[in-house]
Amino acid sequence: MKLCIVTHKVKKGDGQGRVNYEIAQEAIHRGYQLTLLASEVASELEESSKVNWVEISVKGYPTEFIRNYLFARKSADWLRQNRARLDLVKANGAITRSTADVNAVHFVHSSWLRSPVHISRNRRDLYGFYQWLFTAANARWEKQAFQNAKVVVAVSEKVAQELVNIGVPRSKIRVIINGVDLQEFSPGEAYRQKLGLPENVTLALFAGDIRTPRKNLDTVLQALAKVPNLHLAVVGNTEGSPFPQLAAELGLTERVHFVGYRRDIADIMRAVDLFVFPSRYEACTLVLLEALSSGLPVITATATGGAELVTPECGIVLPDSDDIEALAAALLSLVSDRSQMQRMGEAARSVAEQHSWTTMAQTYLDLFEELIQNEEHSSHPNLSPSPRFITLPFSATGTN
């Protein structure tokens, strides 16, 4: 198979980039030729004899909107000239103006635009207008991209439903949950003192962008005020964030620990007791799966993509992200029963073990091979159908 992946980055340390990195590694493992249309590629992929990196450079342009637009145009130009030499093209959303066979959807801009916490609803200025324009343009372009793809992959059931809401046939959608590094994010012990965390207290963790209300730290803080003796570690850049002041106003200065942006999040997860993340809008967050893999009980909300992974055995899923009383009750139910938290942590790890990066990548490559097989048989009607593929119509839930 001659596979082409169109994406901005193919490297670890980037959510979408990590997904494509793992897919690329599995393609190489299976002996396929791989073309990467990307701006950045991990050195080990660049050096592989199986990989042809076509650099799409958009450096130096002033905004993400312009950079994305130019990337889409440049990648489409290359594909128009070289498409005949490729067996299958995988892309993400509206990343290219060319048609992809498989379009993997990490974010549905139409749904984000309608969200009550969209930036344009909170910022009535030039930046807010730019965010509205960026989202609206992507919503229009990606809808066309989804219609043209043979298969649309959703990274969560929430994303799958959002795709149906904008007219993508459910029969065209596969759900493939993103993966997690089971070695990096694993249960264990970590010394809080070395991490700048309080010792000898029950400690919850919140991690995400805390400069906007989207991740919902404000509700977490207000719920925390109703849960005596529980401490909270907050990982996220505090520059321009209103939440340190809110914590002070709520009298939580001694119990809320803002530790800033951190790269040692895996160690921090080993040091805390539970993870709380009732985001107001999330397509599919990697941090939730990382918390499960670390053996942490999870409290989240239905608005958080990937919440379908959180079973009653390993956590609590709230129907309303903004329900302070329900969140406080959920926190109290966990911190008052440490044996329950331990059982939930063990169950959380078991859930995560079903979603390794390897499993995810293999599922993608199986899908690619299925598409190629189906195309070969449809191109040669005199061939008898392959038993492996004739009974596999596209499912709504995927094979993960």
**Crossing angle of helices 324-335/338-352, nearest 10°?**
100
CB atoms within 10 A of CB 230: 22
State how far the Cα of 101 lies from the Cα of 91, in Å rounded to an integer: 8
Residue 387's nearest CA partner among 399, 370, 400 is: 370
Tally of domains within the chain? 2
Contact present, 210 and 241 (Cβ < 8 Å): yes
* 399 lies in some domain: no
Tell me, letter by letter, the H, E, C secondary structure of 175-226: ECCCCECCCCCCCCCCCHHHHCCCCCCEEEEEECCCCCCCCCHHHHHHHHCC
Which CATH number fits the domain that encloses residue 149?
3.40.50.2000
**In terms of domains, do 143 and 40 share one?**
yes
Same domain, 7 and 124: yes
3-state secondary structure of 216: coil
Based on C-alpha coordinates, what's the Rg of the chain? Answer: 22
Q: What is the DSSP letter of 323?
A: -
Give 63-108 pLDDT, tens digit per residue: 999 999 999 999 999 999 999 999 999 999 999 999 999 999 999 9
Which pLDDT value is given to residue 385?
38
pLDDT at residue 387 in the model: 35
Task: Tell me what pLDDT residue 396 has.
Answer: 34
355-394 per-position pLDDT tens digit:
999 999 999 999 999 999 987 655 544 444 333 333 333 3
291 and 272 both lie in a single domain: yes
What residues contact residue 30 under an 8 Å CB cut-off, 6+ apart? 1, 365
65 & 172 share domain? yes
pLDDT score, position 285: 79
Return the pLDDT at 378: 58
Q: Do residues 243 and 305 both lie within one domain?
A: yes
187 belongs to a structural domain: no
Whether 220 and 134 map to the same domain: the answer is no
Residue at 396 is within a domain: no
Please tell me whether residues 8 and 141 are part of one structural domain.
yes
Q: Record the pTM.
A: 0.88
Query: Which residues does 1 contact at the CB level (< 8 Å), separation at least 6?
Result: 27, 30, 32, 33, 87, 88, 368, 369, 372
Nearest CA to 273 out of 224, 342, 221, 223 is that of 342
φ, ψ (nearest 5 deg) of residue 354: -85, -5
Q: Whole-number mean pLDDT of the chain? A: 91
Q: State both tokens at 137.
A: 């343009």
Q: Based on the domain organization, do 235 and 383 belong to the same domain?
A: no
Q: Are residues 208 and 335 in the same domain?
A: yes
Residue 185 counted as domain residue: no
- 269 lies in a domain? yes
Over residues 321-355, the pLDDT tens digits come to 999 999 999 999 999 999 999 999 999 999 999 99
Q: For residues 12 and 183, give the distance between their C-alpha atoms in angstroms, rounded to a whole number.
A: 15
Q: Which residues of the chain register pLDDT less than 70?
A: 376-400
Q: In terms of domains, do 141 and 197 share one?
A: no
Residue 270 falls inside a structural domain: yes
Q: Copy the structure tokens of residue 398.
A: 């995927």
| 398 within domain boundaries | no
Residues 171 and 221 in one domain: no
Report the run of H or E that residue 372 belongs to, with start and end.
helix 357-379
Specify if 279 maps to a domain: yes
Q: Are residues 6 and 147 in the same domain?
A: yes
**Parent domain of 209:** 192-352
